[in-house]
Each structure stands twice: as structure tokens, then as C-alpha cells.
């Protein structure tokens, strides 16, 4: 569905990803994991062409994203659903109207059709009964699900989730994880999940890619990642402070800062 071919990219002169090759198979859930600032969100930006590569190609369904004109890009973006960290619902619109929004923006469907579609999407995330509430009247986990219903309103082929579990309690996390997996199967879509939450992510991912220092450091199935000897993967999966990823930001030796050993 998506292929990054030898992609190097960054912001300004600063290179963030270098020579990255990545394949996202159709119909699967791919997880992007790795250290903070490693470039996971940057991969999502590349796929949506919010960011252009310095070199290499980003292919979507066999099309090189760089060759698209504005109309072509618009058409391809319609096939992508994006769910950002904190959903960003329109606070003065009801749950129903939030989900209806992309349908009203991008289609000429009748009011009756919009109603049916919105209720179907809300039903898929378990919130058909919450249609008349305002975002301020639902919990954080519910708001996330409303945002998900909105992201699937236009029946995308690809759904990208940026930190879908951040800030959720364990039960809501489990609900969100199951939902991502179930929707992936039910809608036949391809999903990319950027997350730090190892347990939830390993539960639903078909394939896990670890990004560190601008490169793909490791990849495989969740089981392969759990069994990995790679020190970075072990540190990440085990959640330990010691390992290739340092806890301390580079600094002068402690003794120097605290004047230890200095003559008085």
C-alpha cells in the first residue's frame, strides 16, 4: 500500500531520516515505535506529503506522491484518515456534527444519507447513543473514539494514528486498541500506529518497525521483537533506563558540575 524508497528527509538543512526503506502491506496494522524525536511523526508527514523528501520516493498505492498535482494530492489525501494525538474535535459542534463534518465538506450526499453514515460510524465506535453530546460532555477516551469515527467517515483506505493511547486510562487503552484492530479488519483498511505503549501496540500490530537515530533500527512481528537480542529493542520493550538510549542528555561529568574533588 505504501512504500518509502531510500527516503532522506528533514527540516531545513537538518536531516531527520536517512536512506529509509519501508513497506506497509495492504490490510495490515503496522506499528512505528522508537525513541522520542526519532522521526515517527515525520514518517506520517511524508506519507501525507505534508513534508517532501530531500531524496527518494514515497509511493502510495503504486503512485509516486511527488508526481501528483494539487488535484491528485487532494484525491489521495481523501483516501487517508489521520487521527492526531488529541483528536481535536470542534468544541462547539455535537458529536454527530463532528463526524458529519468531512461528509458535508467533501461530498454532496443528501441529509438522510449523511445521517445514516454518521450513525453507522458512531455505532462502529460504540457511541451512537452519544450523538447529541458536545465534546465537553464526553470523556477523553470517548472523544478519541469520536475523532476515530470522524477519521473513517469518508471510508479511507489508510488510517494513520499518532499516539492513539496517550493519556488514556488502562481500560480506555484496551478499548482503543481493540477498536483499531477490529476496524482494520471490518473496513479492510491499512493502519499505521505511532505509539510508545508496547503492550497495547504489540497486541494489535502485524508488524513493528523501530526507528532510532534517523534509521530503521529493527523490525519484525511483535513476537520477534519480544524475542529480539537487539539492545535497543530490549531496552524499549523492557522499558529500562539503561541501554543504547541514554537517560541523560549529554553533559559534563557530574563531578565537574558539583565541584567535587575541587580544592577549597
Ligand X SMILES: Nc1ncnc2c1ncn2[C@@H]1O[C@H](COP(=O)(O)OP(=O)(O)OP(=O)(O)O)[C@@H](O)[C@H]1O
Residues interacting with ligand X, by CB under 6 A? Answer: 11, 16, 36-42
How is 138-160 classified by DSSP, letter by letter? S-HHHHHHHHHHHHTTT--SEEE
Whichever of 32 and 153 has its CB closer to ligand X, that residue is: 32
63 bridge partner residues? 60
* Least separation in angstroms between CB 113 and ligand X: 37
Whichever of 41 and 191 has its CB closer to ligand X, that residue is: 41
State the cell numbers at 100. 458529519
Whichever of 87 and 135 has its CB closer to ligand X, that residue is: 87
Contact criterion met (CB below 8 Å) for 1 and 60: yes
* Least separation in angstroms between CB 12 and ligand X: 7
Q: What angle do CA 48, 153, 100 make, to 5 degrees?
A: 120
Whichever of 202 and 236 has its CB closer to ligand X, that residue is: 236
* Least separation in angstroms between CB 227 and ligand X: 24
- 49 closest CA partner among 34, 67, 26: 67
* Least separation in angstroms between CB 224 and ligand X: 21
Between CA 142 and CA 238 the distance in angstroms is 30
Amino acid at each position: 500500500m505504501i512504500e518509502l524508497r531510500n527516503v532522506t528527509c528533514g527540516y531545513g538543512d537538518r536531516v531527520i531520516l536517512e536512506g529509509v526503506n519501508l513497506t506497509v502491506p495492504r490490510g495490515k496494522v503496522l506499528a512505528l515505535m522508537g525513541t522520542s524525536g526519532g522521526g515517527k511523526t515525520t514518517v506520517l508527514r511524508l506519507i501525507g506529503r505534508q513534508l517532501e523528501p530531500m531524496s527518494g520516493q514515497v509511493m502510495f498505492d503504486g503512485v509516486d506522491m511527488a508526481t501528483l498535482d494539487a488535484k491528485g494530492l487532494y484525491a489521495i489525501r481523501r483516501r487517508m484518515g489521520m487521527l492526531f494525538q488529541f483528536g481535536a474535535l470542534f468544541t462547539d459542534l455535537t458529536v454527530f456534527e463532528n463526524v458529519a463534518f468531512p461528509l458535508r465538506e467533501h461530498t454532496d450526499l443528501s441529509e438522510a444519507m449523511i445521517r445514516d453514515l454518521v450513525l453507522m460510524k458512531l455505532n462502529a465506535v460504540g457511541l451512537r447513543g452519544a450523538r447529541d453530546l458536545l465534546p465537553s460532555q464526553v470523556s477523553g477516551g470517548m472523544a478519541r473514539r469520536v475523532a476515530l469515527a470522524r477519521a473513517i467517515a469518508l471510508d479511507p483506505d489508510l488510517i494513520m494514528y499518532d499516539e492513539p493511547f496517550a493519556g488514556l486510562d488502562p481500560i480506555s487503552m484496551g478499548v482503543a486498541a481493540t477498536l483499531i484492530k477490529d476496524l482494520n479488519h471490518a473496513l479492510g483498511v491499512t493502519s499505521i500506529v505511532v505509539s510508545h505503549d508496547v503492550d497495547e501496540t504489540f497486541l494489535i500490530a502485524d508488524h513493528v518497525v523501530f526507528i532510532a537515530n534517523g534509521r530503521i533500527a529493527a523490525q519484525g512481528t511483535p513476537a520477534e521483537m519480544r524475542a529480539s537480542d537487539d539492545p535497543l529493542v530490549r531496552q524499549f520493550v523492557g522499558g529500562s533506563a539503561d541501554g543504547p538510549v541514554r537517560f541523560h542528555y549529554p553533559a559534563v561529568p557530574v563531578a565537574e558540575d558539583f565541584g567535587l574533588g575541587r580544592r577549597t
